[in-house]
Chain A
Amino acid sequence: MKTTLARLGGVYLLPVAIGIFTLFLIPTSTWLTLTIAGLAMGMMIFLMASGLSLIFGLMDVLNFGHSAFVSFGAFIAASVLAALSSWVSGGSAALNIAALLLAVAAATTFGAAAGWFFERVVVKPVYKDHLRQILVTMGALIVAEQLILAIWGGVPIAVPRPAVLEGSILIGNVAIETYRVFAFLLGLAVYVAMYLVLRRTRIGLLIRAGVENREMVEALGFRIDRLFIGVFMAGSALAAMGGAMWAGYQALITPTLGAEMMILVFIVVIIGGLGSIEGSLLGAIMVGLTANYVAFLMPKMALASNMILMMAILLWRPYGLKPAVQK
């Protein structure tokens, strides 16, 4: 039984199990809509969580400022979309998409630059000192949130969504929001790209080795600090990309967006296991699906349900479902 399950995919079956279980509780057409929404949400959370998880795995740094990158990404994307409003609302699908891609690219670029600054200035002096790390990144989070308030003000900002991604595709009696499909595909593309880099390139090999044993990577002759900065920039860029996509999804954003998402991101990272992108993907999909199903079944339990999910998984596997380091 156990080996059969493992051959079929082991813990990867969990989201499928969640899906099948809820199929009995929810009318099929609604279930399909919710599932697409859950997958899209999961993919956006994956963008935010994978970077955090990798940064943690490689450097043993938990960056509480990570949520600031998410917020900044969302607001920068909103500003770019607002500036390109003629492209966004115009009839040309190409310009529509170009505007969104530009917005996401601007957010991502900012994320990478901010990540560089964060690693060099904020985190580097306190490597190996967990307590001060948590404090310093927490302080940086406070400052970053205040900066967002100072720049964009405290009021919610409307995010114009590209006209071509507005609305839904109707398949039978199932309505699927176009934007969700786009978000899912983008997230999937990023996952595949990350997977290929980690599995097929020498840099990826170094990162995977570094997550397991930094010291040995150095003893083999590699400068781990260069890897650190690269991964930190990439992780922060992904967070900002996730924030940008989330901004388009929500259509109305507030400065607390990053902090709100961060809870889900933490839950995802804990569920998935620190340091592995497979774990992050698995956790993100599970959290996205659970959030959507429960929001339909028991609206008040939406966030608590993910917390319960996390507790249950922690009891079962204290290091998460797919930790990078094999114990």
Chain B
Amino acid sequence: MTALSASPAFRRLPAGRLVVYAIVAVIGVVLVLAPFLLHGNVRGIDVAARICIFVVLVASYDLLIGYTGIVSFAHTMFFGLGAYGTAIALKAMGPGFSAILAGGAAGVACALVLAVLIGLLSLRVKAIFFAMVTLAAASVMLVLASQLSDITGGEDGLIYEIPRFFSPATKLLTGADGKVATLFGVPLNGRVALYYFVFLSALVLFLVMVRIVRSPLGTVLEAIRENETRAEAIGYRVVAYRTAIFCLAAVIAALAGILRAVWLKYAGPEAVLSFAIMIDILLMVVIGGMGTMIGAIIGVVIMSLAQFYLKDLMQAAADATSGLPLVPDLLNPDRWLLWLGLLFILLVYFFPAGIAGTLLGKGGHK
């Protein structure tokens, strides 16, 4: 049963479903209008672009964990490959769309090859084994990226120019006076174009994934997740399907990496490859709701907001308790992950379907 398809559900019009759609609609509107709503707020636009990219990244991870029951820790590795491929090409070939195309393609190809290798090598064994292998692979990639400094810039990463078309000096439209045209007071320059490039690419990728999970392939994947032995008995080639979806998710993650590299004009181990990103993805997909696709949107937005507001809240609490031993240390805003981690554990115990899953009335994930 896919989350969005069944028409009887609409006849019942459950309140939870409406809430989810309303939240997603609001998020969608904000993201569509972000350059105008957040005009002048550089940081705000940055968060909006990051949300777009992470929705793709998290949704592609949901293909694995939610729809197929595969736990991989190599997702940032694929993300990083896309980003580094683009970054290295932009650095070497100079700013141009051909560099993005060539570097991105190379990154995606690397991701695909690695995914095939890892998949064929270890998807036939237990889920836990696979988790370990991917974790080991991802760590090695991280070390390689920081050590092969001639190519990757090492710990410092790479800083590079992106195509001139995306620079603030580019005028998308010129007004009567020859200056850049404005819409609602916002100049229609290359920065706006870059945001919409990211937003539309992310939207297309997200819709492709929604299409995939609602296709016959999605049904097969869920059959495998629910009962591997039975799926195999019916005649599905479980390893082949799993490898295929693992490769697909890897490619999409790499594509998200390209977007990240173009937006940031920077690629470094911390920014696109670190284990912290993997933790973020994991938290986002579980909080949002595994196996729902739409949960990716909710999870990413909540985590992004939490990173700002939870820290403020903790700062206030730390100040209030400054006289006590250890407590202020635990409430230090740098320790926000501590509380999020606790929240995460409780969520996995009591609401394994996540926010979207719970509201959509999908049962707990088995």
Interface residues of A (CB under 8 A from B): 56, 60, 62, 122, 125-126, 129-136, 138-140, 142-143, 146-147, 149-151, 154, 259, 262-263, 266-267, 269-270, 274, 300, 303-304, 307, 310-311, 314-315, 318-319
**Are A131's CB and B341's CB within 8 A?**
no
**Are B69's CB and A131's CB within 8 A?**
yes
Name the B residues within 8 Å of A311 (CB-CB). 121
Given contacts A122-B345, A134-B131, A150-B338, contact A267 B136 (CB under 8 A): yes
B317 is an interface residue with CB less than 8 A from chain A: no
Given contacts A270-B133, A314-B133, contact A62 B128 (CB under 8 A): yes
Name the A residues within 8 Å of B135 (CB-CB). 262-263, 266
**Are A304's CB and B129's CB within 8 A?**
no
Interface stretch, picked from B43-51, B143-151, B168-176, B205-213, is: B143-151
- Say which residue of A134, A303, A319 sits within 8 Å of B71 (CB atoms): A134
**Are B348's CB and A132's CB within 8 A?**
yes
B312 is an interface residue with CB less than 8 A from chain A: no
B286 is an interface residue with CB less than 8 A from chain A: yes
Residue-by-residue, is B104-124 near A (CB-CB < 8 Å gives 1, otherwise 0)? 000000000000000001101
**Are B129's CB and A135's CB within 8 A?**
no
Given contacts A135-B282, A135-B286, A150-B335, contact A143 B121 (CB under 8 A): no
Name the A residues within 8 Å of B140 (CB-CB). 263, 303-304, 307
B332 is an interface residue with CB less than 8 A from chain A: yes
**Are A131's CB and B345's CB within 8 A?**
no
Q: How far is the CA of A274 from the CA of B335 in the complex (A)?
A: 34
**Are A150's CB and B329's CB within 8 A?**
yes
**Are A139's CB and B341's CB within 8 A?**
yes
Most buried by A among B127, B131, B136, B279: B136
Residue-by-residue, is B244-274 near A (CB-CB < 8 Å gives 1, otherwise 0)? 0000000000000000000000000000000
Question: Nearest A residue to B133 by beta-carbon distance?
Answer: A270
Q: How far is the CA of A315 from the CA of B122 in the complex (A)?
A: 9
Beyond A62-B132, A134-B71, 18 extra complex contacts between A and B, CB < 8 Å: A125-B349, A126-B348, A131-B65, A132-B349, A136-B345, A136-B348, A139-B344, A140-B345, A143-B341, A149-B334, A150-B335, A150-B338, A266-B135, A270-B133, A270-B136, A300-B148, A303-B140, A311-B121
- Say which residue of B122, B127, B275 sits within 8 Å of A131 (CB atoms): B127
B337 is an interface residue with CB less than 8 A from chain A: yes
Shortest Cβ gap from A138 to chain B (Å): 6
**Are B365's CB and A131's CB within 8 A?**
yes
Q: How far is the CA of A304 from the CA of B329 in the complex (A)?
A: 37
Q: With contacts defined as CB atoms under 8 Å apart, how many contacts are there between chain A and chain B in the complex? A: 109
**Are B136's CB and A266's CB within 8 A?**
yes
Question: Nearest A residue to B366 by beta-carbon distance?
Answer: A129
- Say which residue of A62, A132, A307, A319 sits within 8 Å of B352 (CB atoms): A132
**Are A139's CB and B131's CB within 8 A?**
no
- Say which residue of A135, A270, A318 sits within 8 Å of B348 (CB atoms): A135
> How many residues of chain B have a CB within 8 Å of chain A?
45
Q: How far is the CA of A247 from the CA of B332 in the complex (A)?
A: 27
Q: How far is the CA of A146 from the CA of B341 in the complex (A)?
A: 9
**A to B CB contacts below 8 Å, 29 in the list:** A62-B131, A129-B366, A130-B71, A130-B126, A130-B127, A132-B365, A135-B348, A136-B349, A138-B282, A142-B279, A142-B337, A142-B344, A146-B338, A150-B330, A150-B335, A151-B329, A262-B135, A263-B140, A269-B132, A300-B147, A304-B143, A304-B144, A307-B140, A310-B136, A314-B121, A314-B122, A318-B122, A318-B125, A319-B125
**Are A274's CB and B129's CB within 8 A?**
yes
B139 is an interface residue with CB less than 8 A from chain A: yes
Shortest Cβ gap from A268 to chain B (Å): 10
- Say which residue of A143, A269, A300 sits within 8 Å of B345 (CB atoms): A143
Name the B residues within 8 Å of A307 (CB-CB). 136-137, 140
Name the A residues within 8 Å of B136 (CB-CB). 263, 266-267, 270, 307, 310
Question: Nearest A residue to B285 by beta-carbon distance?
Answer: A135
Question: Nearest A residue to B135 by beta-carbon distance?
Answer: A266
**Are B335's CB and A146's CB within 8 A?**
yes
Q: How far is the CA of A114 from the CA of B71 in the complex (A)?
A: 26
Name the A residues within 8 Å of B139 (CB-CB). 263, 303
**Would you call the interface of chain A mostly helix, strand, loop, or mixed?**
helix
Q: How far is the CA of A267 from the CA of B348 in the complex (A)?
A: 27
B326 is an interface residue with CB less than 8 A from chain A: yes
Name the B residues within 8 Å of A303 (CB-CB). 139-140, 143
Given contacts A132-B352, A303-B139, A303-B140, contact A142 B341 (CB under 8 A): yes
B29 is an interface residue with CB less than 8 A from chain A: no
Shortest Cβ gap from A271 to chain B (Å): 10
Question: Nearest A residue to B66 by beta-carbon distance?
Answer: A131
Name the A residues within 8 Å of B143 (CB-CB). 303-304
> Lowest 3 A-B CB distances belong to which pairs?
A146-B338, A142-B341, A143-B341
Name the A residues within 8 Å of B144 (CB-CB). 304
**Are A139's CB and B133's CB within 8 A?**
no
Name the B residues within 8 Å of A270 (CB-CB). 129, 132-133, 136
Shortest Cβ gap from B88 to chain A (Å): 18
Shortest Cβ gap from B157 to chain A (Å): 17
Name the A residues within 8 Å of B131 (CB-CB). 62, 134
B6 is an interface residue with CB less than 8 A from chain A: no
B342 is an interface residue with CB less than 8 A from chain A: yes
- Say which residue of B132, B335, B348, B366 sits within 8 Å of A149 (CB atoms): B335
Name the A residues within 8 Å of B148 (CB-CB). 300
Q: How far is the CA of A311 from the CA of B133 in the complex (A)?
A: 9
Shortest Cβ gap from A231 to chain B (Å): 17
Name the A residues within 8 Å of B348 (CB-CB). 126, 132, 135-136, 139
Shortest Cβ gap from B146 to chain A (Å): 10
Q: How far is the CA of A318 from the CA of B340 in the complex (A)?
A: 37
Name the A residues within 8 Å of B340 (CB-CB). 142
Question: Nearest B residue to A319 by beta-carbon distance?
Answer: B125
**Are B335's CB and A266's CB within 8 A?**
no
Q: How far is the CA of A134 from the CA of B122 in the complex (A)?
A: 17
Name the A residues within 8 Å of B341 (CB-CB). 139-140, 142-143, 146
Name the B residues within 8 Å of A149 (CB-CB). 334-335
Q: How far is the CA of A130 from the CA of B286 in the complex (A)?
A: 15
Given contacts A138-B282, A143-B345, A270-B136, contact A130 B352 (CB under 8 A): no
